[in-house]
C-alpha cells in the first residue's frame, strides 16, 4: 500500500511539473508575441533612414509630435540635425556656434527638442547656438564620419565630441542590433574603412530584427546556448543606449579582448587627432566630452577608458570635459533621478538615458567647463 501511495504521489508530481513547464512555455510565447506586436523595436526607426555611409541617418525635415510621450516631440531640419531651424554657412553676428556630435545621449533620446543638453546649453547663454549631430546607436566612428561628411562649409567655433564608454565597443562591430554599420580597421598603422557600402537588407525587413531580438527571451534558447555553445561566451553590452550582443571564443578571451581594446584605442586616437586637425583648419576648437551613464556611479567599470581618454587628450592637446567625476560626486538619490527608468517608454533600450534633469545636469556641467574657452 505504501508503495502504491508513493507511486501515485510521484506520478501526480510529474504530471503537475509537466503542466507547469507547459504553462511556462505558453507564457513565454505569449510574452514574446506581445513584444513583437506592441513594442517599438528601436525608436530611431521612426526618424532615420538607411545610409550607405553611416548605416542610418536622420530623415531631413522630420516632425514627430509626442515622439517620446506627451509634449516630447522630435524635429529635424533640412540638414538632418535635431534642430528646428536650418543653419546658414556663416555664424550670425554676436553668436558662438557649437557643433555637438555623439550618440543618443547627445541626440536627446527620450526628451523634447528643447530639453536635450545641447538645447539647454544654448538656453543658458543667449550667445550660444548648438547644432545637434547626435544619433541613436552611433559609435564614435559613426559620429566622426557624419561630421566629416555633412558639416560641409558650415562655420563653427567649437566642436564637442561627446561619448559614453560603450560607444567604443560599438566601433569593434559591423552591426548594431542587427543593423549594419561601418567599421574602421588598421593597416600599416592607417585607418581603413570597412563594411561600406553598409548592407541594406535589415532596413528593408525590420520586422525580422524585431522577431530575432524578441525570441532571445525564450528560456529554451538561453538554455541551449549555455549547454551546447561551450566554445562561445555571450557578451552583453547594454550601454544604456539600446543594446548589442557579440560572441567571442572562450579560449584566450582575455587576450583577445585586450588586443581588440588596444586596437580600438589606436583607432580612437587617430580619430581624435584627425578631428583636432580638421577643426584647427576651420578655426574651430575640438573638445572631448565624456558623458556618464548610471553604472558609472557605483563602480570603476569605465576606469581604464577614463584614464585612456585623459592621457590621450593631454597628449594630443585636446581639451577634455570629464563629467564622470562630477556625476560620482552627486548624492546617490540625485544621480539616480537623472535617468529614464525601465518601463517609462515603450522602446527597446530606453531605460538608462538622461531624462530632462539628466540633460540639464549635462548642459550645466559642460557650460561651467566651457566658459574658459568662450570669447
Chain centroid to Cα 301, Å, comes to 17
- CATH number, domain 39-370, options 3.40.50.1110, 2.60.120.10, 3.50.50.60, 3.40.50.300: 3.40.50.1110
Q: What is the pLDDT of residue 250?
A: 30
| Confidence (pTM) | 0.81
Q: Which string of b and e fits 148-158 if b means at least 16 CB within 10 Å?
A: eeebeebbbbb
Q: What is the pLDDT of residue 241?
A: 41
Half-sphere exposure (Cβ direction) of 362: Cα atoms closer than 13 Å: 30
In the chain (375 residues long), the average pLDDT of successive 10-residue segments reads 67 71 58 51 90 98 97 98 98 98 98 98 97 98 98 97 97 94 97 97 59 48 44 36 33 62 97 98 98 89 88 98 94 97 91 98 98 91
Q: What is the pLDDT of residue 18?
A: 73
pLDDT per position as a tens digit, 265-309: 999 999 999 999 999 999 999 999 999 999 999 877 678 899 999
Three cell numbers written together for 306: 577614463
101 phi and psi, to 5 degrees?
Answer: -105, 150
| Domain ranges within the chain, ordered by starting residue | 39-370
The whole-angstrom separation of Cα 213 and Cα 202 is 13
Q: What is the pLDDT of residue 267?
A: 98
The whole-angstrom separation of Cα 370 and Cα 202 is 40
Q: What is the pLDDT of residue 41?
A: 64
The whole-angstrom separation of Cα 35 and Cα 4 is 46
Three cell numbers written together for 69: 510621450
Amino acid at each position: 500500500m505504501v508503495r502504491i501511495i508513493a507511486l501515485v504521489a510521484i506520478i501526480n508530481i510529474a504530471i503537475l511539473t509537466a503542466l507547469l513547464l507547459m504553462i511556462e512555455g505558453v507564457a513565454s510565447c505569449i510574452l514574446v508575441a506581445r513584444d513583437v506586436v506592441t513594442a517599438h523595436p528601436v525608436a530611431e526607426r521612426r526618424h532615420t533612414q538607411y545610409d550607405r555611409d553611416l548605416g542610418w541617418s536622420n530623415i531631413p525635415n522630420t516632425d514627430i509630435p509626442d515622439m517620446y510621450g506627451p509634449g516630447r516631440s522630435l524635429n529635424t531640419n533640412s540638414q538632418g540635425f535635431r534642430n528646428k531651424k536650418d543653419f546658414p554657412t556663416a555664424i550670425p553676428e554676436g553668436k558662438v556656434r557649437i557643433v555637438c556630435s555623439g550618440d543618443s545621449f547627445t541626440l536627446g533620446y527620450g526628451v523634447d527638442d528643447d530639453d536635450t543638453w545641447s538645447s539647454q546649453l544654448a538656453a543658458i547663454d543667449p550667445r550660444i547656438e548648438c547644432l545637434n549631430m547626435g544619433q541613436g546607436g552611433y559609435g564614435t566612428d559613426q559620429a566622426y564620419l557624419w561630421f566629416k561628411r555633412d558639416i560641409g562649409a558650415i562655420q563653427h567655433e567649437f566642436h564637442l565630441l561627446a561619448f559614453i564608454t560603450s560607444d567604443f565597443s560599438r566601433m569593434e562591430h559591423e552591426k548594431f542590433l542587427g543593423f549594419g554599420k561601418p567599421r574602421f580597421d588598421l593597416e600599416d598603422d592607417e585607418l581603413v574603412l570597412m563594411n561600406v557600402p553598409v548592407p541594406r537588407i535589415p532596413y528593408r525587413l525590420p520586422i525580422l530584427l524585431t522577431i530575432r531580438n524578441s525570441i532571445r527571451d525564450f528560456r529554451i534558447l538561453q538554455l541551449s546556448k549555455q549547454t551546447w555553445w561551450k566554445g562561445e561566451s555571450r557578451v552583453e553590452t547594454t550601454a544604456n543606449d539600446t543594446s548589442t550582443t557579440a560572441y567571442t571564443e572562450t579560449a584566450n578571451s582575455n587576450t583577445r579582448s585586450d588586443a581588440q581594446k588596444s586596437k580600438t584605442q589606436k583607432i580612437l586616437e587617430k580619430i581624435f587627432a584627425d578631428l583636432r586637425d580638421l577643426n584647427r583648419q576651420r578655426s574651430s576648437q575640438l573638445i572631448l566630452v565624456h558623458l556618464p551613464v548610471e553604472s558609472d556611479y557605483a563602480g570603476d567599470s569605465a576606469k581604464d577608458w577614463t584614464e585612456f581618454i585623459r592621457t590621450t587628450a593631454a597628449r594630443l592637446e585636446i581639451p577634455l570635459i570629464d563629467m564622470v567625476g562630477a556625476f560620482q560626486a552627486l548624492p546617490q538619490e540625485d544621480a539616480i533621478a537623472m535617468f529614464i527608468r525601465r518601463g517609462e517608454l515603450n522602446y527597446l533600450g530606453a531605460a538608462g538615458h538622461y531624462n530632462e534633469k539628466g540633460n540639464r545636469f549635462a548642459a550645466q556641467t559642460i557650460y561651467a567647463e566651457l566658459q574658459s574657452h568662450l570669447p
